[in-house]
Amino acid sequence: MLEKLFYLCLLVVFGCGTPAVKPDTNRVVNGVDARPHSWPWQISLQVKHGSRYHHTCGGTLIGSRWVLTAGHCIWPGDVYRVVLGEHDMTQQEGTEQIRDILRIVVHPSWDIDHVADGNDLALLKLDKSPIMNDSVGVACLPEAGEILAHGTPCYISGWGNLYTHGPMPDKLQQALLPVVEHSVCSRSDWWGINAKTTMVCAGGDVVSGCNGDSGGPLNCLGQDGRWYVQGVTSFVSSSVCNEVKKPTVFTRTSAFTDWLSEVN
pLDDT digits (tens, 9 = 90+) for 144-172: 999 999 999 999 999 987 776 778 889 99
Q: What is the pLDDT of residue 208?
A: 61
pLDDT digits (tens, 9 = 90+) for 73-92: 999 999 999 999 999 999 99
List of domains in the chain: 153-255 (2.40.10.10)
Long-range contact pairs involving 105-109 (C-beta distance under 8 Å, separation at least 24) = 105/263, 106/71, 106/74, 107/71, 107/256, 107/259
Phi, psi for residue 157 in degrees, rounded to 5 = -135, 145
Residue positions annotated with a catalytic role: 72, 120, 214
Q: Is 80 exceeded by the pLDDT of residue 4?
A: no
pLDDT digits (tens, 9 = 90+) for 63-75: 999 999 999 999 9
Q: What is the pLDDT of residue 166?
A: 77
pLDDT digits (tens, 9 = 90+) for 198-220: 999 999 875 667 767 899 999 99
The total of other beta-carbon atoms located within 10 Å of residue 202's CB is 29
| Distance in angstroms (rounded) separating the CA atoms of residues 212 and 7 | 29
Average the pLDDT over 237-262 and give the result. Answer: 89
Q: Is 258 exposed, middle or buried (0-12, 13-18, 19+ CB in 10 A)?
A: exposed
User: Is the pTM of the predicted complex or chain greater than 0.85?
Assistant: yes
Q: What is the pLDDT of residue 6?
A: 42
Q: Is 90 exceeded by the pLDDT of residue 143?
A: yes
